[in-house]
Structure 1
Amino acid sequence: MTVLASGLDPSSAAYADNRAAMLEKLAAVEAEHAKAVAGGGEKYTARHRSRGKLLARERIELLLDPDTPFLELSPLAAWGSDYTVGASLVTGIGLIEGTECLVTASDPTVRGGASNPWTLKKALRANEIALANRLPLVSLVESGGADLPSQKEIFIPGGALFRDLTRLSAAGIPTIAVVFGNSTAGGAYIPGMSDHVIMVKGRAKVFLGGPPLVKMATGEESDDESLGGAEMHARTSGLADHFAVDEPDALRQARRVVARLGGRTARRGPEAPPVPPLYDEDELLGIVAGDLKAPFDPREVVARIVDGSDFDEFKPLYGPSLVTGWARLHGYLVGVLANAQGVLFSAESQKAAHFIQLANQRDVPLVFLHNTTGYMVGRAYEQGGIVKHGAMMINAVSNSRVPHLSVLMGASYGAGHYGMCGRAFDPRFLFSWPSAKSAVMGPQQLAGVLSIVARASAAARGRPYDEEADAGLRAMVERQIESESLPLFLSGRLYDDGVIDPRDTRTVLGLCLSAVHGAPFEGARGGFGVFRM
């Protein structure tokens, strides 16, 4: 039988402690999400509404098909920075007239929707997802352009936004801009480089230079409407393809544009009907301990996310600290790699490389479930070839051509993060649980290494070692590394696509699998680098 049997005891004290710790972390994440939803706060939200305008998320809601999910991406961008959580931009994937689209929406309640460095990073990540998965891109625009005090961090890399729009179009991926207000200076090129443009009467303002700049540069007197208003662009310049009387009309017209995109938006559906897991998704809250040193069986996670809890394990007796196998998720066939006891040894590394090659021969997407402290160290392991075997696994991940989806459940440290397809290895999507941590190594280990090096240096110079200073240094380093390894910090820097509730893992992965099947893919057929044997 390939149906997983669960050994989880929801009535145990350990389960209750794990669940309580996870719920506490979830509450902290939800509080930060609420800040992103609040945008610029009550004052600026009220001012925006007083002008008869919809909020960014209200625009998205009217744009999408009723009662369909919206997978919001990078909602915690800019967390921990000097900028508002969310980076004044909402991005995500949703259905419009039955077509999966990548939607971006400026939040004009945050500094007029001006772009800061994190807005740019978030927008570029959205474009990357649209291109990789052939998702039509719908931009809901109302932005004052670059946040000028931070222009040095925006101007040079910001050109990639316009590059991406033209590359999407060249690849046959539709781009649609709906302009609700300001889209000025460099922002004017968003509608200028989109395939389809809709502008709202009396609201849209699209020009390279506004009336004050024109006055300064040329001495010419002008006004917003004659310079860049929706009616002018619809009647005179031709920049506007569709003229909307108000915001709901603009969103209705955007839906009609998507409805007429035709066969280029056809997507492959699942190979089989989805079947719910046998076990309750709510139980995912009690699997990972608050202390990540406590091991857990990743099969308990797999049993609660894959169809029918049916998992055909590959090499179950070999390299047991990495679980690999085949399953269906929302009807899509996937290969799963999940860390068991945290450490990756030579056997696990070779097993992973073999499994990844098989997935590429069969054109099967891979799901990586992280809980690893990295590759094993020590004399015996170095002599046994851990470097070349770890490199073999990383080689396989690097050159695999099937879509990769990663979820950080617990630890994701060191090169193990790389071998399990961390952000630098271009997974199509990467999400974190609130319990996740990721860094070069654990805080205690890193602080300990620094202490050992400092002791050796003092001994080499024949100097006494200051134990009190050492204790203070270790405590400071541990606090720093701990804070920098937490999911809020990592998500704020867009090192993942969002921190998700463990109970939503199956749904999120299902939405991602649907998205990745919109673009053709074929596994590597021997196109791997040299494997050191």
Structure 2
Amino acid sequence: MQPIHSQLDNRSSDFNNNRTAMLEQIAHFREAEQRPLQAERERASRYRERGWLLPRERLNLLLDPGAPFIELCALAGYKLYDDQDGSGAGGGAICGIGQVSGRRCMVRVDNYAVKGGTISPAGMDKALRIQQIALENRLSVVTLAQSGGANLKYATDTFAPGGLGFANQARMSAAGIPQITVVHGGATAGGAYQPGLSDYVIMVRGQSGMYLAGPPLLKAATGEIADEESLGGAEMHCSESGSGDYLAESDADGIRLAREIVATLPCRHTPNLPEEYADPLYPIDDLLGLIPADSKKPYDVRELLARIADGSAMLDFKAQFDRQTVCGHIRIEGQAVGIIGNNGPITPKGANKAAQFIQLCEQSGTPLLFLHNTTGFMVGTEVEHHGIIKHGAKMIQAVANARVAKLSILVGGSYGAGNYAMCGRGFGPRFIFAWPNARTAVMGAAQAGKVLRIVTEQKMARSGQVDTALLDKLENDTSAFMQANSDALACSARLWDDGIIDPRDTRKLLGMLLAICREAGSVPARQNTFGVARF
């Protein structure tokens, strides 16, 4: 591999303007991430009076000190449904991949301090996405549970997907993926089945409760009167029903027990990784000024690769065949990866090139990294004559059917079928993250406004009444709507990605994600038919 020779001038006015714009976008999404934390802090005193640890305090006790934590879907549900102020970002839970007792685990901490940890439709989608990641990467799951359950305003939207969540738990157990749950508070009805379907259950004396029907519903349904402790308290479940396995004395003690259980599980190891690798030749901070603030201005994706690849080295594949779709081999922290990036729309030759490259990576077992920045497939008479549909279909076939790990980073626009061909959310990438300048939509906002205007104007012309003022309003309203709903925050809120990241964290994040994918392939499956059950 040869080093990429960067042409970027990091002292130019364009670079500084781009850097300022990117820093503003970073500050914007960081401020959104802070809103649930602010809501948690405002209520902290009342929970501390009860002796409860706050959700983030529980998370910090669970994770190994100093080890990295990849938070996932932190902005799920942001300003969606009944979240007026953005404090509901995260969908009622803090989730991510972290290290517990030296083992990499999927972690879920119910955020009871914000809206009772109730689950909106976005929160349910997040829960299912977290389970999918755990299954694909064979990650043990540790849950610190204390939730108000489904948000009843949206119960009709979460009921059926909730069933899939329970089915996934059973399938994870059968696949040999351990699930450990600490029940920190009440778990009622469907909420009781989450710990019930876990392989290990820890309950806190005088604090935990599990029941299919709480005391009020029990009295209404049967007339029986029972207090919470006798009906489903921690001591009862650990000594009589057997639904609890370990009895803890406090929040912190329950987390200690969870860490000790995880310590009994086998360690995961990443095979065949070199201990040393070269850093990029160019500073990662250059990524702040690399991307033009004006999305219509082009740049070479190789400049990005020069700042994330080991030694800034790349083996370019078919560099002369098509210059708008860039394919090649790089290494990130010693790990081989095939990259597909965009320097413009996807042409027939670009689609052909990418499809061939994907098949080569599939043959060699090399993971794929897609760096999105495309307006989509090229359109026009010439490309139609050259078979853009059939060549685009070949690329989509290759992306959909490749079995190697696929990672996607949205570093710019990702529009139309180009989003599909570049392994967008619908094509099941193992992980997908976005930079704060990213946009995802069926087409650009201005184009959407113009298309609707043209169609409507043609309809008006047939009736002999063209209203220019109405057409102007339609075009402007459509463009504004598309613009507001295609930015990084809006897309992340809908879980079109696994989170927004600071561009400067890209190399470090990709190194960890590639390691997670490699570990998953090295963990032997210890499957059984029905999972672990209590008798």
Take 2:396 and 2:152, find their aligned partners in 1: how far apart are those partners? 41
Q: What is residue 25 of structure 1 aligned with on the other side?
A: 25
Take 2:118 and 2:40, find their aligned partners in 1: how far apart are those partners? 12
Q: What is residue 80 of structure 1 aligned with on the other side?
A: 79
Matches within 5 A, 1:91-240: 91-240=95-244
Matches within 5 A, 1:83-482: 83=83, 84-262=88-266, 265-268=268-271, 270-271=273-274, 273-340=276-343, 342-461=344-463, 463-482=464-483
- Asked if the contact 2:36–2:114 (Cα under 8 Å) also holds between the matched residues in 1, the reply is no
Q: What is residue 69 of structure 1 aligned with on the other side?
A: 68
Per the TM alignment, residue 39 of structure 1 is displaced from its structure 2 partner at its CA by: 4.2
Take 2:48 and 2:315, find their aligned partners in 1: how far apart are those partners? 54
Take 1:269 and 1:476, find their aligned partners in 2: how far apart are those partners? 55
Take 1:510 and 1:55, find their aligned partners in 2: how far apart are those partners? 31
- Asked if the contact 2:270–2:518 (Cα under 8 Å) also holds between the matched residues in 1, the reply is yes
Take 2:59 and 2:423, find their aligned partners in 1: how far apart are those partners? 31
Distance 1:246-1:274 versus aligned 2 partners, 3 A rule: farther
- Asked if the contact 1:271–1:333 (Cα under 8 Å) also holds between the matched residues in 2, the reply is no
**Structure 1, residues 298-346: CA drift from partner, whole Å, max 9, x if none?**
1111111111211111111111111111111122110011101x21101
Take 2:451 and 2:401, find their aligned partners in 1: how far apart are those partners? 33
Take 1:78 and 1:236, find their aligned partners in 2: how far apart are those partners? 40
Take 1:56 and 1:510, find their aligned partners in 2: how far apart are those partners? 28
Report the residue type matching 1:314 in the other structure. F
Report the residue type matching 2:54 in the other structure. L
- Asked if the contact 2:439–2:487 (Cα under 8 Å) also holds between the matched residues in 1, the reply is yes
- Stretch deviating more after TM superposition (445-454 or 483-492): 445-454
Take 1:37 and 1:313, find their aligned partners in 2: how far apart are those partners? 44
**Structure 1, residues 434-481: CA drift from partner, whole Å, max 9, x if none?**
1111111111111111122222223333x1422222111111111000
Report the residue type matching 1:402 in the other structure. V
Take 2:404 and 2:58, find their aligned partners in 1: how far apart are those partners? 34
Take 2:148 and 2:476, find their aligned partners in 1: how far apart are those partners? 44
Report the residue type matching 1:120 in the other structure. M
- Asked if the contact 1:405–1:427 (Cα under 8 Å) also holds between the matched residues in 2, the reply is yes
Report the residue type matching 1:235 in the other structure. S
Distance 1:268-1:164 versus aligned 2 partners, 3 A rule: farther
Report the residue type matching 1:359 in the other structure. C
> 1:519 and 2:523 equivalent?
no
**Structure 1, residues 128-177: CA drift from partner, whole Å, max 9, x if none?**
10001000011110012222222111112211111111110000011111
**Structure 1, residues 263-308: CA drift from partner, whole Å, max 9, x if none?**
6x45546355343211111110001112211111111111111112
Paired residue secondary structure (2:450): helix
- Asked if the contact 1:39–1:107 (Cα under 8 Å) also holds between the matched residues in 2, the reply is no
Take 1:454 and 1:508, find their aligned partners in 2: how far apart are those partners? 46
Q: What is residue 530 of structure 2 aligned with on the other side?
A: none
Structure 1, unpaired ranges of 5+: 522-533
Q: What is residue 531 of structure 2 aligned with on the other side?
A: none
Take 1:36 and 1:69, find their aligned partners in 2: how far apart are those partners? 21
**Superposition CA RMSD, Å:** 1.4
> 1:9 and 2:9 equivalent?
yes
**Structure 1, residues 360-379: CA drift from partner, whole Å, max 9, x if none?**
00001000000000111111
Per the TM alignment, residue 52 of structure 1 is displaced from its structure 2 partner at its CA by: 1.4
- Stretch deviating more after TM superposition (128-137 or 285-294): 285-294
Alignment size in residue pairs: 517
- Asked if the contact 1:36–1:76 (Cα under 8 Å) also holds between the matched residues in 2, the reply is no
Take 1:253 and 1:52, find their aligned partners in 2: how far apart are those partners? 18
**Structure 1, residues 173-200: CA drift from partner, whole Å, max 9, x if none?**
1111111111111110111000111111
Q: What is residue 531 of structure 1 aligned with on the other side?
A: none
Paired residue secondary structure (1:519): helix
Report the residue type matching 2:230 in the other structure. S
**Structure 1, residues 485-515: CA drift from partner, whole Å, max 9, x if none?**
1010000011100011000111111121122
Q: What is residue 44 of structure 2 aligned with on the other side?
A: 45
Take 1:46 and 1:332, find their aligned partners in 2: how far apart are those partners? 47
Paired residue secondary structure (2:20): helix
Paired residue secondary structure (1:75): coil
Take 1:269 and 1:229, find their aligned partners in 2: how far apart are those partners? 49
Take 1:278 and 1:150, find their aligned partners in 2: how far apart are those partners? 51
Paired residue secondary structure (1:206): strand
Take 2:514 and 2:8, find their aligned partners in 1: how far apart are those partners? 28
Report the residue type matching 1:296 in the other structure. Y
Aligned-residue identity in percent: 46
Take 2:396 and 2:447, find their aligned partners in 1: how far apart are those partners? 23
- Stretch deviating more after TM superposition (415-424 or 143-152): 143-152
Take 1:420 and 1:450, find their aligned partners in 2: how far apart are those partners? 26
Give the TM-score taking structure 1 as reference length.
0.95
Paired residue secondary structure (2:440): strand
Structure 2, unpaired ranges of 5+: 523-535
Report the residue type matching 1:7 in the other structure. Q
Paired residue secondary structure (2:9): coil
Paired residue secondary structure (1:289): coil
Per the TM alignment, residue 17 of structure 1 is displaced from its structure 2 partner at its CA by: 0.6
Q: What is residue 56 of structure 1 aligned with on the other side?
A: 55
- Stretch deviating more after TM superposition (432-441 or 104-113): 104-113
Take 1:269 and 1:237, find their aligned partners in 2: how far apart are those partners? 47
Paired residue secondary structure (2:394): helix
- Asked if the contact 1:63–1:251 (Cα under 8 Å) also holds between the matched residues in 2, the reply is yes
- Asked if the contact 1:135–1:518 (Cα under 8 Å) also holds between the matched residues in 2, the reply is no
> 1:484 and 2:485 equivalent?
yes
Take 1:322 and 1:116, find their aligned partners in 2: how far apart are those partners? 39
**Structure 1, residues 347-394: CA drift from partner, whole Å, max 9, x if none?**
100000000000000001000000000111111110110111111111
- Asked if the contact 2:137–2:520 (Cα under 8 Å) also holds between the matched residues in 1, the reply is yes
Paired residue secondary structure (1:337): strand
Report the residue type matching 1:58 in the other structure. E
Per the TM alignment, residue 108 of structure 1 is displaced from its structure 2 partner at its CA by: 0.8
Report the residue type matching 2:181 in the other structure. A
Take 2:169 and 2:65, find their aligned partners in 1: how far apart are those partners? 28
- Asked if the contact 1:269–1:517 (Cα under 8 Å) also holds between the matched residues in 2, the reply is no
- Stretch deviating more after TM superposition (303-312 or 475-484): 303-312
- Stretch deviating more after TM superposition (66-75 or 197-206): 197-206
- Stretch deviating more after TM superposition (468-477 or 173-182): 468-477
Report the residue type matching 2:95 in the other structure. T
Paired residue secondary structure (2:372): strand
Take 1:312 and 1:224, find their aligned partners in 2: how far apart are those partners? 65
Report the residue type matching 1:111 in the other structure. K
